[in-house]
C-alpha cells in the first residue's frame, strides 16, 4: 500500500532545489536548455499544489521567483511567469499519484534515438515483402534491388566521418531525416508495375538518409558521457534504438494488415459485374464468375490491389513520422566545435 507524500511548504530553498535539479539535468546531458521540466509537490497557505519551471526561460537564467505555483484543486496558476506548456500532465500525475513528491521530465538523446530507430529501421521491413509478395520478384533479385540502400548508407557514413566536427551534427541528422522522408514520399507513387530504377534510386536515397542519421546521433549521445560510463551507455543506446525499431516494425505491420482488410472490403463492395471494366473482363474471358476458380481469381486480384494500397499508406505514414521527428533533433545538445564537452562525472 502506498502512502501519500507529505508536501513541503513553498519556500525560497525549495524553489532553489527545483532550479538546481533542472540545471543538473542539462549538466548530465539528458536535457537541453529549457526542453524538459521539473515540478515538486508543495503547499502555499491552505492550498496544495506544485511548483513548476516556467515556459520560455533557460535554466541558466532561472530565479526562485520565476517558478509558477499551480493549485492541485482547480489548476489555477500563480506567479510572475507562465508555467511550462506541459504543466497539465504534471498536474494530472500529481493528482493520480499522491505518493509522488516530485516529477522530472527530460528530453534525452536516448529518447530521440528511440524515435529515430522507430522511423528509419521500420522502413526497411516493408519493401522486401512488397517486391516478393506483390511483384513476384525472386529472393535473389529482391536482394540486388535493395543492395543500393546499403551502398548509400556506407557512402553517407564515410561523408559523416570526413565532416567530423566541422558541421553541426544536428544539421546532418535533419538532412538524413529529410532524405528518408523524400524517398518514402516518392514510394507512395509505387504500384505493382513500378520499374526497377525507381526502386533503386529511392532505396539509395533512403540509405543515404540512414547513414546521415546514426553516426552524428551516436556522437551527440556520447558527447557528454564520461569514458568510464561508455560501456553501459553503449548498451543502453543500442537497447533503446532496438526497442524503438521493434515498436516501429510492429506498428507498420499491424497497419499494413488492418488497412489491407479495410481496402479489401471497400474494393469488394464496389466490384460489380455490371461495371464497364468488369464487364469487359468477363466478355473477353479473362475472368469468370460462373465457376469457383474464377471467383477465387477475382478475389486474389482484389487482395493484391488492397495490399498495394495498404503498402502505400504505410509509406505515407512513415514519411510523416520522419517529418514529425525532426523537431526532436533541435532538442539535442551539439558537441563543441573542438569536440571537448564537459563530461558527466
- Cβ atoms of 21 and 336 closer than 8 Å: no
Global pTM value:
0.64
Percent of the chain with pLDDT over 70: 83
How distant, in Å, are the alpha carbons of 271, 273, 275, 300 from that of 280? 13, 9, 9, 18
Rounded to the nearest angstrom, the gap between the alpha carbon of residue 327 and the centroid of all alpha carbons in its chain is 10
- Cβ atoms of 123 and 181 closer than 8 Å: no
> Tell me: the pLDDT tens digits for 260-281?
999 988 888 877 766 766 667 7
> Tell me: the pLDDT tens digits for 5-27?
788 888 889 888 988 888 887 77
If 0-12 CB within 10 Å is exposed, 13-18 middle and 19+ buried, where does residue 304 land? middle
pLDDT of the residue at 311: 92
Taking the C-alpha atoms of residue 15 and residue 52, their distance in angstroms, rounded to an integer, is 9
Domains of the chain (ranges plus CATH)?
A: 8-105 (3.40.225.10), 110-329 (1.20.1250.20)
Range with lowest mean pLDDT among 23-27, 40-44, 170-174, 186-190: 23-27
User: Which string of b and e fits 18-50 if b means at least 16 CB within 10 Å?
Assistant: bbebbbebbeebbbbebbbbbbbbbeeeebebb
Is a pLDDT exceeding 80 seen at residue 2? Answer: no
pLDDT of the residue at 272: 72
Predicted confidence band at 218 (pLDDT cuts at 50, 70, 90)? confident
> Tell me: the pLDDT tens digits for 33-88?
566 788 889 888 888 888 888 887 777 788 888 888 988 888 888 888 888 877 88
pLDDT of the residue at 64: 87
Task: Report the pLDDT averaged over residues 107-111.
Answer: 62
Is a pLDDT exceeding 90 seen at residue 201? Answer: yes
Task: Report the pLDDT averaged over residues 231-242.
Answer: 77
Is a pLDDT exceeding 90 seen at residue 301? Answer: no
- Cβ atoms of 85 and 37 closer than 8 Å: no
Secondary element (H or E) of residue 77: strand 77-78
Task: Report the pLDDT averaged over residues 100-124.
Answer: 70
Is a pLDDT exceeding 90 seen at residue 217? Answer: no
Is a pLDDT exceeding 90 seen at residue 200? Answer: yes
Q: Which of 328, 302, 321 is nearest to 31 (CA)?
A: 328
Contacts of 40 (CB under 8 A, 6+ apart): 8, 14, 17, 18, 50, 51, 101, 102, 103
Range with lowest mean pLDDT among 9-23, 178-192, 276-290: 276-290
Predicted confidence band at 202 (pLDDT cuts at 50, 70, 90)? very high
Rounded to the nearest angstrom, the gap between the alpha carbon of residue 308 and the centroid of all alpha carbons in its chain is 24
> Tell me: the pLDDT tens digits for 304-335?
889 999 999 999 998 998 898 888 787 776 55
Is a pLDDT exceeding 80 seen at residue 102? Answer: yes
- Cβ atoms of 313 and 194 closer than 8 Å: no
Task: Report the pLDDT averaged over residues 242-254.
Answer: 82
- Is the pLDDT higher at 144 or at 299? 144
pLDDT of the residue at 199: 92
Most confident of 138-147, 161-170, 180-189: 180-189
Predicted confidence band at 29 (pLDDT cuts at 50, 70, 90)? low
Amino acid at each position: 500500500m502506498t502512502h501519500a507524500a507529505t508536501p513541503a511548504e513553498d519556500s525560497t530553498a525549495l524553489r532553489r532545489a527545483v532550479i538546481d535539479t533542472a540545471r543538473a539535468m542539462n549538466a548530465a546531458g539528458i536535457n537541453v536548455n529549457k526542453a524538459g521540466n521539473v515540478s515538486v509537490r508543495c503547499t502555499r497557505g491552505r492550498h496544495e499544489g506544485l511548483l513548476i519551471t516556467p515556459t520560455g526561460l533557460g535554466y541558466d537564467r532561472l530565479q526562485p521567483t520565476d517558478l509558477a505555483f499551480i493549485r492541485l484543486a482547480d489548476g489555477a496558476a500563480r506567479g510572475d511567469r507562465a508555467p511550462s506548456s506541459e504543466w497539465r500532465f504534471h498536474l494530472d500525475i500529481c493528482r493520480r499519484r499522491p505518493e509522488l513528491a516530485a516529477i522530472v521530465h527530460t528530453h534525452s538523446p536516448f529518447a530521440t534515438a528511440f524515435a529515430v530507430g522507430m522511423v528509419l529501421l521500420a522502413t526497411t521491413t516493408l519493401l522486401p515483402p512488397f517486391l516478393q509478395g506483390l511483384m513476384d520478384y525472386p529472393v535473389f533479385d529482391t536482394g540486388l534491388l535493395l543492395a543500393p540502400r546499403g551502398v548509400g548508407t556506407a557512402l553517407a557514413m564515410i561523408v559523416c566521418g570526413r565532416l567530423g566536427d566541422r558541421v553541426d551534427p544536428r544539421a546532418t541528422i535533419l538532412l538524413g531525416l529529410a532524405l528518408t522522408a523524400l524517398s518514402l514520399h516518392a514510394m507512395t507513387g509505387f504500384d505493382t508495375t513500378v520499374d526497377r530504377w525507381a526502386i533503386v534510386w529511392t532505396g539509395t536515397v533512403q540509405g543515404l538518409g540512414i547513414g546521415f542519421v546514426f553516426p552524428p546521433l551516436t556522437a551527440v549521445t556520447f558527447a557528454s558521457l564520461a569514458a568510464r560510463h561508455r560501456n553501459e551507455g553503449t548498451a543502453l543506446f543500442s537497447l533503446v534504438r532496438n526497442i524503438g525499431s521493434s515498436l516501429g516494425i510492429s506498428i507498420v505491420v499491424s497497419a499494413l494488415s488492418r488497412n489491407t482488410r479495410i481496402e479489401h472490403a471497400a474494393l469488394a463492395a464496389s466490384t460489380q459485374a455490371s461495371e464497364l471494366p468488369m464487364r469487359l473482363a468477363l466478355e473477353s474471358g479473362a475472368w469468370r464468375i460462373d465457376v469457383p476458380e474464377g471467383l477465387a481469381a477475382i478475389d486474389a486480384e482484389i487482395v493484391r490491389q488492397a495490399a498495394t494500397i495498404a503498402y502505400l499508406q504505410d509509406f505515407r505514414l512513415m514519411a510523416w513520422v520522419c517529418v514529425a521527428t525532426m523537431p526532436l533533433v533541435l532538442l539535442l545538445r551539439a558537441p563543441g566545435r573542438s569536440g571537448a564537452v564537459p563530461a558527466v562525472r
